Structure 1
């Protein structure tokens, strides 16, 4: 008998209510806050580095740490964005547009308080939406056959490709490359090695070579740690800190708080940002960044007659993007948990982490491992409570300590990242095979980035490749090789039309067709 929503939440609370899970959540949010604080890093780099360390943990504790890093980074990125105009995380860029002018006026404390409370409120509302919708979405997903599941994954991958910045052709090529890398290795159905030249196999070793497939951890470390560090050392990377005030100079007004009138004025912006984040968080290619951008643009229209205007130190310009990026960060879990469809790079990493622990992503997770499913959901509330305690009552102690992190020499920080990456790579295989694989993938990613190709589309293609292959095989086997099965089933046909519609979006935007940026 299926559990009610309340019973399911109680099951999740029991799973994370012990001391060890709570400590792991606290560790995750603290690490995420630190990585969010450092300009240019953020949750993707942090999760990629921590993936090897979580291999020795059971599935739920591993996911608690990684998930804590994600929403911890959403909070942590606002501190350097407001105080020093150096957004620590991409989704905090919009927060700096009004947060930093407030800090220059001596009201950094008011901006940080508004950012923290908006993040907490929107995060809790976003989690409530996920909890309310997850049961019907999972029930719908369980009714899907292989044809519907295949087309659903195609739509998700196509949506992420269409919404990627830059050239559509480059994004599509990266998605296809990701699928090919995800299918590299032994075919479990035929027992043959795919995409591996026979001449290279003796050089790679029979026990640990490409016939075992391109490891997910190696791909994450190569594309999201080695390549960005190499690009920054070459003076080409987006990791380079934004130009702002020196981190050594602390801004005044850290004890200032918003007035009651300012709180009343900011609540509508907070609610609008939350609503946008809830919707855009589930959109493929969306998530926290797209949510914060959209919320700020909406707020510019809604607050055009306000004084001061947005961009000159209006607390609405802090509340809206912070609420949007945290609501979007929470609702991104809905398609990932319920359907096995990651809407952004962080969810793709978490989906890959499920695979590392031999858990098939998708709606079956709720039935097979309900404690893991609901424990992860409840941990989001726990993480938000820990973060508001970390950011408000304890701000006097921890914020100055984290601000000192910004004074770490950049090259020393990059060296530390590479050392941590190397230690993780050593655990991937004997004879240093993992290190060479990570270096090779990092160099490939560096070249692709120089050509204007994004690694996010490749990552999504990589993690979705096994599901795409499995459901395509199963659908064709059940239909005896009849490709019209994708048109004969109504839901599958509707999803196919959605994929075609996404392609038409590109056709109607000629600037996205070419290979240029």
Structure 2
């Protein structure tokens, strides 16, 4: 009964004209930029974060959540029609979605992605609402040692569940932790690793790294591909509604993807990417029906299940963020930055000190998902026209928008140069096959982990055994060690590498 009262409060907040408008604007902007090849939710939120500065906190977070969903939906459109995943979680959608488009079935592929995303998004939001209160009560039992142990588990999880080589993922986490050390020491007030550059005494800007590595890095990478490599199926999108046979095959896949995504979204370092790969792997292991297309040759289940999984995971990844204050993936790390900008400390106190924001955000997720179905399926023709615009005309506008956004945060030209530098670094990461998401998690969690470590040691008068004598922190550290030990076993390491193989 208490849950329904909370949801009633949330819908009361979300259904105000101003918040509805910002939810719609967020969904529209997210879809608009998410459709652009190579620019997914992460880069979109990084680029549009400065646009929310002047807004009230509730409206700002509702708009950012809308941008997140919109970019994710738009990423599947690009994956199906252009064979370019808008984001890492759309990589497996490319495999069967693009083949369906080549066979003239782009319409049913887009519909399957949209329906699967909407259903999974609604279920994921329901899971978030149901688990929020009990997890928040657990979070109030956490002290500095527990939070430090939880962040260690988050960083280990980010390494284990990151796609690609374990050593590379560990290197990226370490680099993120080192970048987080730049600035003024909280305890002593002394500048560290600033190299006598005044602008670095406050640390490297979160938006500077996010926009440089994920925004500019992706743009430079896209420019390295010839225009002829982009084959857009503008003429083949007709008959959006899947057939009865399609519905019969894709609904079990959507249910499987939703269940898997809802669980994997909560795990630190997991989120949408791991969920989509795992869902596709699961579908490939289920038997084919008579007359069904092979996987990799246009099977509708290969589109519906990963899209459902990544959207369910997107919703449930808000659970550790809103209840514990810990971002489980890079997009949620951006949301931490957004909340901090608006003087909101992510964690259990959000629900008690600002229930309108907490439940208003959850209610807006349902509204945003409904808006996206309307925006994406009936208006697909508009997004196709956008896809046919030459990229050489689009990228200068995106670069300019990013530069204005970065400059507006601190009115400092130094930040623009830093974004350019991190853009080059981001491009090098792409060329070297390095996954940059763990870097962002390390950058966000590192200073928080250091602060809680120091606080725990101050309270225990320098006694390191405080992490072992407190049951919760000992359990979390043991879980981190177990996870690390398991993934280093040869058999599990090989299975992990196979899970991220795209074809």
Fold shared per TM-score above 0.5: yes
Q: Aligned partners of 2:170, 2:367: CA distance in 1, in Å? A: 38
Partner of 2:30: 32
SS of equivalent residue, structure 1 residue 51: helix
The 10-residue stretch of structure 1 (3-12 or 70-79) with the greater mean CA deviation from structure 2: 3-12
Alignment of structure 1 residues 19-168 onto 2, 5 Å: 19-168=17-166
Conserved? CA contact 2:254–2:304, under 8 Å: yes
Conserved? CA contact 1:82–1:100, under 8 Å: yes
Q: Aligned partners of 2:86, 2:440: CA distance in 1, in Å? A: 22
Cα deviation 1:272-326 (Å, max 9, x = unaligned): 1111111111122222222122112211221334422333333322221221111
1:282 paired with 2:266, answer yes
Q: 2:247 aligns with which of 263, 271, 277?
A: 263
CA RMSD of aligned residues (A): 2.4
Partner of 2:324: 339
Q: Aligned partners of 2:173, 2:99: CA distance in 1, in Å? A: 40
Q: CA deviation at 1:508?
A: 1.9
Change (3 A) 1:193 1:17: same
Q: Aligned partners of 2:387, 2:98: CA distance in 1, in Å? A: 16
Change (3 A) 1:356 1:83: same
Q: 1:469 aligns with which of 432, 450, 455?
A: 450
- Output the TM-score relative to the length of structure 2: 0.91
Conserved? CA contact 2:184–2:191, under 8 Å: yes
Alignment of structure 1 residues 298-309 onto 2, 5 Å: 298-308=282-292, 309=294
Partner of 2:387: 406
1:223 paired with 2:229, answer no
Cα deviation 1:433-489 (Å, max 9, x = unaligned): 222232333344444555544321111011112321221122111111100110111
Change (3 A) 1:508 1:33: same
Q: Aligned partners of 2:229, 2:429: CA distance in 1, in Å? A: 26
Q: 2:399 aligns with which of 403, 414, 418?
A: 418
Q: CA deviation at 1:506?
A: 4.2
SS of equivalent residue, structure 1 residue 427: helix
Q: Aligned partners of 1:276, 1:265: CA distance in 2, in Å? A: 18
Conserved? CA contact 2:177–2:442, under 8 Å: yes
Conserved? CA contact 2:61–2:361, under 8 Å: yes
Change (3 A) 1:408 1:495: same
Partner of 2:501: none
Conserved? CA contact 2:26–2:64, under 8 Å: yes
Change (3 A) 1:467 1:82: same
Partner of 1:5: 3
Change (3 A) 1:246 1:110: closer
The count of aligned residue pairs is 493
Cα deviation 1:156-202 (Å, max 9, x = unaligned): 111101222333333223222222322322223222112223xx24x
SS of equivalent residue, structure 2 residue 140: helix
Q: Aligned partners of 1:447, 1:110: CA distance in 2, in Å? A: 37
Gaps in structure 2 of 5+ consecutive residues: 498-503
- Output the TM-score relative to the length of structure 1: 0.89
Change (3 A) 1:49 1:501: same
SS of equivalent residue, structure 1 residue 482: coil
Partner of 1:483: 464
Conserved? CA contact 2:27–2:368, under 8 Å: yes
Q: CA deviation at 1:223?
A: 1.5
Q: CA deviation at 1:503?
A: 2.1
Q: CA deviation at 1:243?
A: 4.6
Q: 2:362 aligns with which of 371, 377, 380?
A: 377
Conserved? CA contact 1:39–1:241, under 8 Å: no
Q: Aligned partners of 1:350, 1:369: CA distance in 2, in Å? A: 16
Partner of 1:433: 414
Alignment of structure 1 residues 222-241 onto 2, 5 Å: 222-233=212-223, 235=224
Q: 2:203 aligns with which of 201, 213, 220?
A: 213
SS of equivalent residue, structure 1 residue 418: helix
Q: CA deviation at 1:343?
A: 1.8
Q: 1:175 aligns with which of 167, 173, 197?
A: 173
Q: CA deviation at 1:256?
A: 4.8
Q: Aligned partners of 2:2, 2:227: CA distance in 1, in Å? A: 48
Partner of 1:245: 231
Gaps in structure 1 of 5+ consecutive residues: none
SS of equivalent residue, structure 2 residue 269: coil
Conserved? CA contact 1:122–1:274, under 8 Å: yes
Q: Aligned partners of 1:359, 1:275: CA distance in 2, in Å? A: 31
Conserved? CA contact 1:87–1:242, under 8 Å: no
Partner of 2:500: none
1:324 paired with 2:327, answer no
Q: 2:334 aligns with which of 345, 349, 367?
A: 349
Q: Aligned partners of 1:487, 1:331: CA distance in 2, in Å? A: 30
